[in-house]
């Protein structure tokens, strides 16, 4: 006779939950190994921009957000000036951890290696790092413990000074199974002197309204990022164009910086 067991049922033998026991044993015995991984230093360095136009209006927005919230989400499509804005804001801090994510970072092992290296400021000192890789993703508790360990090394010599963590192109990791646990742990583990900037082309799969109502997350969207008329005139003046050219360009571009620069360069 053939006996079939369903994974949706728990069988109790002498008071032992067989299914949960097996699952727990399997998780605790998951295999891990150590190998050397090449870290691309440019992913952990603040980008530099030529012909950058200072935007005091947005600097004030970020300063107010960093004073009120633990983290700020800068959300906008490609070409809306998110990275340039964050790079300008980051230069106000002496202690900065910058990480530009890409599609490979959806793997926890890869992302955590880069993230810990960025927090330890290894972007200029080391290109090779030995990391322990696991065949499965850590659970929420393990991720929380790892994040706390990572943050212990962040600006350890300047704990009383303002510090900044920037995750650029974070939309590449939003769909990762570990992102929710990572973001929640990071958000609530930040010291009062630290601020988190998240740059993304879309909103994360999180209840943003709840985070905003709890005063833990500020949001800067495309409407705020868009150049106003005064900023557009300054930009076109920098390229040697008259004010009327700036007005026409602003109407065509809706204040989107990538389009404005293209118009200014070809006017």
pLDDT tens per residue across span 171-216: 999 999 999 999 999 988 988 889 999 999 998 888 777 877 777 8
Whether 180 is in a domain gets the answer yes
Tell me the whole-structure pTM to 2 decimals. Answer: 0.80
Both 204 and 113 in one domain: the answer is: yes
Whether 122 is in a domain gets the answer yes
| Residue 238 pLDDT greater than 80, yes or no | yes
Both 69 and 196 in one domain: the answer is: yes
Q: What is the domain count for the chain?
A: 2
Both 63 and 85 in one domain: the answer is: yes
Both 80 and 210 in one domain: the answer is: yes
Domain containing 240 equals: 229-266
Whether 162 is in a domain gets the answer yes
d(CA 105, CA 170): 9
What are the φ/ψ torsions at residue 83 (nearest 5 degrees)?
Answer: -65, -40
Whether 61 is in a domain gets the answer yes
Structural contact between residues 72 and 195, judged by C-beta atoms closer than 8 angstroms: yes
Look at residue 177 in the predicted model and tell me its pLDDT.
92
Both 250 and 132 in one domain: the answer is: no
Whether 140 is in a domain gets the answer yes
Average confidence score pLDDT of the chain: 81
Look at residue 135 in the predicted model and tell me its pLDDT.
65
Whether 131 is in a domain gets the answer yes
Whether 20 is in a domain gets the answer no
Look at residue 12 in the predicted model and tell me its pLDDT.
34
More confident residue, 37 or 49: 49
Both 217 and 179 in one domain: the answer is: yes
Q: Are strands 163-168 and 194-200 parallel, antiparallel or unpaired?
A: parallel
Look at residue 94 in the predicted model and tell me its pLDDT.
86
Both 233 and 220 in one domain: the answer is: no
| Residue 255 pLDDT greater than 80, yes or no | yes
d(CA 139, CA 15): 26
Both 191 and 233 in one domain: the answer is: no
pLDDT tens for 122-159 read 555 555 566 666 667 788 998 999 899 888 878 765 55
| Residue 113 pLDDT greater than 60, yes or no | yes
CATH of the domain at 170: 3.40.50.300
Both 205 and 253 in one domain: the answer is: no
Both 166 and 236 in one domain: the answer is: no
Whether 7 is in a domain gets the answer no
- Pick from 43-52, 86-95, 120-129, 240-249: least confident: 120-129
Both 221 and 95 in one domain: the answer is: yes
pLDDT band at 101 (very low <50, low <70, confident <90, very high): very high
d(CA 228, CA 254): 9
Look at residue 244 in the predicted model and tell me its pLDDT.
87
Structure tokens at 185: 């742990």
């Amino acid at each position: 006779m053939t006996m079939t067991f369903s994974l949706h049922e728990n069988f109790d033998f002498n008071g032992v939950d067989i299914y949960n026991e097996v699952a727990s044993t399997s998780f605790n015995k998951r295999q891990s190994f150590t190998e050397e991984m090449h870290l691309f230093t440019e992913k952990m360095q603040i980008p530099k921009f030529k012909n950058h136009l200072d935007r005091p209006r947005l600097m004030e927005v970020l300063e107010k957000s960093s004073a009120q919230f633990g983290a700020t989400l800068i959300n906008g499509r490609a070409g809306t000036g998110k990275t340039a804005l964050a790079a300008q804001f980051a230069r106000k801090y002496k202690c900065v951890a910058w990480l530009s994510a890409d599609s490979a970072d959806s793997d926890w092992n890869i992302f955590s290696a880069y993230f810990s290296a960025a927090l330890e400021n290894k972007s200029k000192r080391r290109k090779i790092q030995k990391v322990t890789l696991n065949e499965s993703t850590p659970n929420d508790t393990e991720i929380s413990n790892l994040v706390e360990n990572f943050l212990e090394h962040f600006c350890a010599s300047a704990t009383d000074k303002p510090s900044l963590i920037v995750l650029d192109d974070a939309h590449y990791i939003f769909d990762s199974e570990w992102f929710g646990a990572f973001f929640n742990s990071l958000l609530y583990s930040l010291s009062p002197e630290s601020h988190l900037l998240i740059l993304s082309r879309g909103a994360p799969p999180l209840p943003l309204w709840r985070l905003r109502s709890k005063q833990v997350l500020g949001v800067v969207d495309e409407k705020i990022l868009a150049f106003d008329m005064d900023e557009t005139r300054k930009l076109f003046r920098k390229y040697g164009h008259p004010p009327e050219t700036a007005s026409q360009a602003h109407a065509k571009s809706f204040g989107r910086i990538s389009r404005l620069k293209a118009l200014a360069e070809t006017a």
